[in-house]
Structure 1
């Protein structure tokens, strides 16, 4: 077959051109994204319950819902989190679950449970986790010409800022939503107006009426009746009665008839238009801002969205010079930066591979032949991507780069074998035919063994397994493409380049400069190895317990450390402070680190976002996005902020999370290192006193560990005196209505203004808590009774949040400690809880999930080695020779673990995958060597001479393929972006394994082979 192809170079060329053209066309349709599009098996139920306390939310809403939702198929874990006015249920499902079907099932279960909830509670929201939840950008809008801020206080939002919010909602968001790549624009920080009706109590008292007269007048004049139909001759007309209130003037001009006298509404009540009371705000730096979260269409390309947004921003800045537009948290930059670095690493790897071939072959033509196989194999791989529906992302691209080093292996082996046959005096076409046929079987075996180690990775649980499908397919397709190119295309062009030569000769110019003789050191080393065989075998046996010892010493985590220059700071002040005080504290906090910061976006208090991309917080909490000057500055910021909060607000809780991006949403650790869950032995929610007592004991027992205080909030309770209310003929409704009026929360209706609505409320200007009891309520007889006579005020303390899971109610104690201290901390906590008879403790956290993942990967490594054994046993028709080849994996694993320990890198998903992949790659050299030795022995060569001759003939391709694989992935050791950070431990594992494995393949494998077969 090969000889026939040599005679048809034009046919082969046209076939190659056709495949390249198809691949280039397919590349235009390949989606480009940061991560693969996979389902995230998570669903969140959000419950809104205005006016309910944390315990009412937990008992009345969340527990009935959780009991119903616990029956959903495939549920792995369910937790409920209750707080005042709201709650949430988080559901995690088994990996590879069909989230769309589960989403329907959850909604059906929810519909059944809603019937048991109070009637005034709106239907809970069901949110399916999706990669599209992460906004592509955040756009901050603030005013340029604003009043100067006061000393040590944040700048206040003026009247113009209210107009900015309306402008952002009505104009800016609509302009952005018109872009074809934009799905929607979510926003927060908008200040809406409200109409407040302040009664003239003096006039109302003289008239002998209460505020209900005004409320009834407004409600009676705000009507919209149905249409009537009337006939007029041959025509029919529709008659509409419309008396809706749509403005402040409409309210002022309402007429009231009281005892025969006509009053205008504005005579009895002052109508004031003012900004509505805010429960949250947004700041860009120090300035009040409106922030817009721009969410892209699912099928849109990030690059197209980036281009459209850049053009629109330029237009907006020119059209509205008084508004400052600032893009933050740009996902497209993260994508483009990672993709550019991955692409440059790919190019560098190809160039280094060409350089190695050029030096070792000492010929100008063969490097050209080998380098051709890289782009040809790549375009075929990209065509396969299109067919398989795989996108270009940092996972699939890293697989391509990993494959780049192995793509040229087959070509090197083919060309080197052709040269060897040609030197024996064969005709060129016979040399090509015999050389290709001779190495095809071991090359196919090598490809199968390499691909076989990726196959078990697909069965890795969770989203990690789904992610590495892309990497496994990238390497598999690339290797098979390079194999086909090496045996079908490369021989044809080799024949075309060298057919005019009668024999092969080195390039004298190159040979003059590259004179290193690597055969002589190899022979010396191999002779030394054979003479000291017993010592080396004893060392080999000792590596097994040493590898276990190093495994225990090395740090373990789920993911490698990824450097960042931005973070999300979450602060819970753990006290019932006002929004204004919260804002002031955040301002003073950021002033401590201002010199290290490039940009901040502070979200103080409750936010107005509709989507779930931003954490829901209370008025006493804040979420702050911080962009630092560099990664080192970020570490200083985190340290200074933690120290400042501890010294000034010891009860507050501070946490730093990686800024939300698609990678972290899918893959990153979401919890703390260790969480101790305190369960009451009585099976009920623990009390405040019990939790406070145990947490204080834990804090004393672990003085070197930061134990956060129990999260509490102060409550004011008004207890009705039922007997006094009966004596004074006051109803609950009258008391409640009076209190709502005093705090301006008695909303009568809302005036629809298109994109928003203006609430119309009655009452006084906002009263303080101390003013409530001084108010008076009118009884049935029109007599005003002081509220202090019918209600009593008490103050209490309760949990800020209540938690429950599949095991019942619990209180979580979050403990962030180093990996090495976890066992000590767990033992101490267990002892403290055991002494306290009210609780028992269970532990969760990333400490356990990371070890579970490592255990899964160890099993996968064993499965991969088993597959390698089966494939090698089938190839060599032997049960001994596969063990000889696989013995080097033991040595490689020890040195990889030792190298990770020395370099301070953890044993994580990526480094473990590097171990698995290295196991498949490194034995390729040994496969070729053992196959060559077997072939020489079959031709009658003595064992010792076959060992030396086989090693000598395969020395050059082994060194070349190892160097090229190492250099192709070496650029990843430069940790400059997320893609490189993610691949660093994988690359480090492979480079260490390949370096050690090459030495083992050259010297130790021949030793084992010789020791086993010398008696035969």
Structure 2
């Protein structure tokens, strides 16, 4: 077959061109994204219950829902979190399930459970986690000239800012949503108006009436009557009554008839239009802002959305010069920067590989031939990507870069073997045919062994297994493409380039420049190893316990550390402060790091977003996004803020998290290192006193461990004197209505203004807690009764949040400690809890999940080695020779673990995958060497001579293939973006393994072969 191809170079060329053209066309249709499109097996149920306390939400709503939802198939973990006015249930499922069908089942279970809930509770929202939940951008709008700022205080939102919010919602958001790449725009920070009716109590009292007169007048005049139909001759008309209140003037002009006298509403009540009371706000830097979360269409390309948004913002800035437009948390920058760096690494790796080939071959034609196979293999791989429906992302591109070094291996082996056959005196045509046929079987075996190590990765639990499917497919397809290119395409062009040359043709300049004879030191080293075989075997045996010792020393984590220059700070001030005080504290906090950050967006209090991309917080909490000047400055920012909070607000709980992106959504460690869950032995939610007592004991037992304070909230409870109410003939509705009037929360109705509604409320302009008991309520006889005579005030403290999980109610105690301290901390906590006798404790946290992942990967490594053994046993028809080859992995694993410890890198998913991949790559050299020794022995050569001749003939291809693989992934060692950070431990593992594995393949494998077969 090879000889037939040599005679048809034009046919081969046309076939290659056709494949390249198809691949280039397919590349235009490949979606480009940060991460592969995979299902996230998480569902969240959000419950809204205004007016309910934290314990009422937990007992009345969450517990019935959780009991019903616990029956959903495939459920892995369920956690309920209750707080005042709202609650949430978080459900994690097994990764292999169909999340769409699970979503339907969850809704069915929820519909059954809703019947047991109070009737006035809205149906809970069911939210399926998706990669499209994360906005592509956040666009902050603020006024360039706002209200004047007082020293030491943030700028207040003036009247103009209220108009900015309406403009952002009605104009800017609509303009953005018109872009074809935009799915929706979510908005927060808008200030809406409200109409406040302030009664003239003096005049009402003189009339002998209460505020009910005003409320009834509004209700009587704000009616919607149905249409009537009337016939007039041969025509029929519809008659409509227009009696809706739609403006401030309509309310002022309501007429009230009291005791025969007509009053206009504005004579008895002042109507004030003002900004509605806010539970939250947004600031861009120190200025009031409106923030828009821009969510892209699932099938849209990020680059297209970025171009459209940039053009639109340019136009908006020209049209509205008084508005500042600031784009933050730009996901497209992360994507384009990571993709650009990965493309650069791919190019640098290919150039370095070509340079190595040029130095060793001392010929310009051979590198050209080999370099041709790289783009050819890559474009074929991209064509297969299109067929399989895969995308270009940092995982699949990393797989391509990993495969680049291995792509050239097959070409190097083919070219080197052709030269060896050609130098024996055969014709060029016969040399090519025989050389290709001779190495095809071991090359196919090498490709299969390399690909087989990826197969067990599908058993990796969680989304990690699904994610690295892209990397496995990229390497697998690239290797098979390179094998076909090396066997079918390369021989044709080799024949065309060398048919008029001799086999000893070398570049004169390179022959003079690169004169190092690496055969001589190799022969000396091999002789020394064979003479000291017993010492080498003892060292090999000692590596087994040393490997376990180093494994215990290496730090373990789930994922490698990803460098970043932005962060999200979440603060719970752990006190019942007002929104204004919360805002002031955040302003003073950011002033501490103003010189170190480029951007900041503060979301203070409750936000108005409709979707769940931003964490739900209360008026006493804040979420702050900060972008530092670089990663080093971010470390300073986090340290300064932590010290500031510890010294000024010791009760506050703060946590730093990586700014939301798709990678962190899928893989981020969402919990702390260790969490002790305190369960009451009585089976109920633990009380504040019980938790406080046992947590104080834990703090005393662990003085060096920082334990966050319990998050509490102060509650004011009003207890009615039922007997006094009966005596004075006052009902609960009378008391409740009066209290709502005092605090201006008695909403009568809402005026619909299109995209928003204006509430109409009654009450006073300002009210404090003390004003409630000083108020008076009118009974059925018109007598005003002081509220202090029928209700009394008490204050108490309770948990701000209540938690429950698979094991029932619990209180979480969080420990952020080093992995090495976890065992002692757990032992101490168990002793304290055992002495207290009110609780039993269970432990969760990232410490356990990271170790579970490492254990899974160790099993995967053993499975991969077993697969390698089966493949090698089938190839060599021997049960001993595969063991000779696989013994190399034992040595390589020791040096990889030692290297990770030496360079301060943890043992994580990526470094373990590097170990697995390295195991499949490194034995390729040994496979070729053992195969060559076997062929030489079959030809009648002695064992010792076969070992030396095989080592001599395979020395150059082994060194070249190792160097090209190492240099192709070496650019990953420059950690400048997420892609490089993610692949750094994988690359480091492979480079260390390949470096030491090449030495083992050159010296130890021949020794082991010789020791086993010298007496046979």
Deviation at 1:765, TM superposition (A): 1.6
Alignment of 1:41-120 (within 5 A): 41-120=41-120
CA distance in 1, matches of 2:658, 2:770: 42
Q: Provide the residue aligned with 1:607 in structure 2.
A: 607
Q: Provide the residue aligned with 1:623 in structure 2.
A: 623
Question: Is residue 168 from structure 1 mapped to residue 172 from structure 2 by the alignment?
Answer: no
Q: Provide the residue aligned with 2:673 in structure 1.
A: 673
Q: Provide the residue aligned with 2:926 in structure 1.
A: 926
Q: Deviation per CA, 1:685-722, whole angstroms, max 9, x where unpaired?
A: 00000001111111111111111111111000000000
CA distance in 2, matches of 1:16, 1:159: 68
CA distance in 1, matches of 2:516, 2:237: 103
Structure 2: which 5+ residue stretches go unaligned?
none
Deviation at 1:906, TM superposition (A): 0.2
CA distance in 1, matches of 2:998, 2:599: 49
For the residue of structure 2 that corresponds to 1:257, the secondary structure is strand
CA distance in 2, matches of 1:117, 1:744: 29
Q: Provide the residue aligned with 1:591 in structure 2.
A: 591
Deviation at 1:238, TM superposition (A): 1.6
Q: Provide the residue aligned with 1:969 in structure 2.
A: 969
Q: Provide the residue aligned with 1:731 in structure 2.
A: 731
Deviation at 1:503, TM superposition (A): 3.7
Q: Deviation per CA, 1:844-902, whole angstroms, max 9, x where unpaired?
A: 00000000000000000000000000000000000000000000000000000000000
CA distance in 2, matches of 1:259, 1:97: 72
Indicate if the aligned counterparts of 2:419 and 2:503 stay in contact, CA closer than 8 A.
Answer: no
Q: Provide the residue aligned with 2:141 in structure 1.
A: 141
- The root-mean-square deviation of aligned C-alpha atoms, in Å, is 0.7
Q: Provide the residue aligned with 1:237 in structure 2.
A: 237
Indicate if the aligned counterparts of 1:573 and 1:653 stay in contact, CA closer than 8 A.
Answer: yes
CA distance in 1, matches of 2:231, 2:65: 54
Q: Provide the residue aligned with 1:785 in structure 2.
A: 785
Q: Provide the residue aligned with 2:384 in structure 1.
A: 384
CA distance in 1, matches of 2:696, 2:820: 24
Q: Provide the residue aligned with 2:803 in structure 1.
A: 803
CA distance in 2, matches of 1:116, 1:766: 40
Q: Provide the residue aligned with 1:474 in structure 2.
A: 474
Q: Provide the residue aligned with 1:753 in structure 2.
A: 753
Q: Provide the residue aligned with 2:909 in structure 1.
A: 909
For normalisation by structure 1, the TM-score amounts to 1.00
CA distance in 1, matches of 2:614, 2:770: 35
Q: Provide the residue aligned with 2:941 in structure 1.
A: 941
Q: Deviation per CA, 1:930-985, whole angstroms, max 9, x where unpaired?
A: 00000000000000000000000000000000000000000000000000000000
Q: Deviation per CA, 1:288-344, whole angstroms, max 9, x where unpaired?
A: 000100000000000000000000010011110000000000000000000000000
CA distance in 2, matches of 1:152, 1:143: 20
Q: Deviation per CA, 1:84-124, whole angstroms, max 9, x where unpaired?
A: 00000000001111110011111111111111111111111
CA distance in 2, matches of 1:334, 1:243: 55
CA distance in 2, matches of 1:242, 1:506: 98
Question: Is residue 951 from structure 1 mapped to residue 939 from structure 2 by the alignment?
Answer: no
For the residue of structure 2 that corresponds to 1:749, the secondary structure is strand
For the residue of structure 2 that corresponds to 1:217, the secondary structure is helix
Deviation at 1:203, TM superposition (A): 1.4
Q: Provide the residue aligned with 2:658 in structure 1.
A: 658
CA distance in 1, matches of 2:953, 2:765: 94
CA distance in 2, matches of 1:263, 1:614: 50
CA distance in 1, matches of 2:699, 2:242: 67
Q: How many residue pairs get matched? A: 1016
Q: Provide the residue aligned with 1:864 in structure 2.
A: 864
Indicate if the aligned counterparts of 1:422 and 1:504 stay in contact, CA closer than 8 A.
Answer: no
CA distance in 2, matches of 1:740, 1:391: 56
CA distance in 1, matches of 2:686, 2:942: 80
Q: Deviation per CA, 1:203-252, whole angstroms, max 9, x where unpaired?
A: 11121111111111111111112222222222222221221111000111
Deviation at 1:148, TM superposition (A): 3.4
Q: Provide the residue aligned with 2:301 in structure 1.
A: 301
CA distance in 1, matches of 2:365, 2:939: 33
Indicate if the aligned counterparts of 1:706 and 1:816 stay in contact, CA closer than 8 A.
Answer: yes
CA distance in 1, matches of 2:350, 2:445: 24
Q: Deviation per CA, 1:708-749, whole angstroms, max 9, x where unpaired?
A: 111111000000000110111100000000000001111111
CA distance in 1, matches of 2:565, 2:476: 35
Indicate if the aligned counterparts of 1:922 and 1:994 stay in contact, CA closer than 8 A.
Answer: yes
Question: Is residue 315 from structure 1 mapped to residue 312 from structure 2 by the alignment?
Answer: no
For the residue of structure 2 that corresponds to 1:97, the secondary structure is coil
CA distance in 2, matches of 1:517, 1:655: 59
For the residue of structure 1 that corresponds to 2:321, the secondary structure is coil
Indicate if the aligned counterparts of 2:147 and 2:157 stay in contact, CA closer than 8 A.
Answer: no
Alignment of 1:624-773 (within 5 A): 624-773=624-773
Q: Deviation per CA, 1:402-436, whole angstroms, max 9, x where unpaired?
A: 00000000000000000000000100010000000
Q: Provide the residue aligned with 1:284 in structure 2.
A: 284
Q: Deviation per CA, 1:170-189, whole angstroms, max 9, x where unpaired?
A: 10000100100000000111
Identify which range, 236-245 or 64-73, moves more after superposition.
236-245
For the residue of structure 1 that corresponds to 2:453, the secondary structure is helix
Indicate if the aligned counterparts of 1:82 and 1:88 stay in contact, CA closer than 8 A.
Answer: yes
CA distance in 2, matches of 1:137, 1:468: 27
Deviation at 1:502, TM superposition (A): 4.3
CA distance in 1, matches of 2:478, 2:223: 71
Indicate if the aligned counterparts of 1:458 and 1:472 stay in contact, CA closer than 8 A.
Answer: no
Alignment of 1:339-738 (within 5 A): 339-738=339-738
CA distance in 2, matches of 1:366, 1:757: 75
Q: Deviation per CA, 1:476-513, whole angstroms, max 9, x where unpaired?
A: 00000000000000000000111112443222221011
For normalisation by structure 2, the TM-score amounts to 1.00
Structure 1: which 5+ residue stretches go unaligned?
none
Q: Deviation per CA, 1:450-488, whole angstroms, max 9, x where unpaired?
A: 000001112211100000000000000000000000000
Identify which range, 632-641 or 873-882, moves more after superposition.
632-641
Q: Provide the residue aligned with 2:830 in structure 1.
A: 830
Q: Provide the residue aligned with 1:15 in structure 2.
A: 15
Q: Provide the residue aligned with 2:880 in structure 1.
A: 880
Deviation at 1:766, TM superposition (A): 3.1
CA distance in 2, matches of 1:106, 1:509: 73
CA distance in 1, matches of 2:703, 2:619: 32
CA distance in 1, matches of 2:837, 2:669: 33
CA distance in 1, matches of 2:223, 2:459: 63
Indicate if the aligned counterparts of 2:58 and 2:82 stay in contact, CA closer than 8 A.
Answer: yes
For the residue of structure 1 that corresponds to 2:238, the secondary structure is strand
Q: Provide the residue aligned with 2:226 in structure 1.
A: 226
Q: Deviation per CA, 1:23-71, whole angstroms, max 9, x where unpaired?
A: 0000000000000000000000000011100000000000011011011
For the residue of structure 1 that corresponds to 2:88, the secondary structure is strand
Identify which range, 907-916 or 585-594, moves more after superposition.
585-594
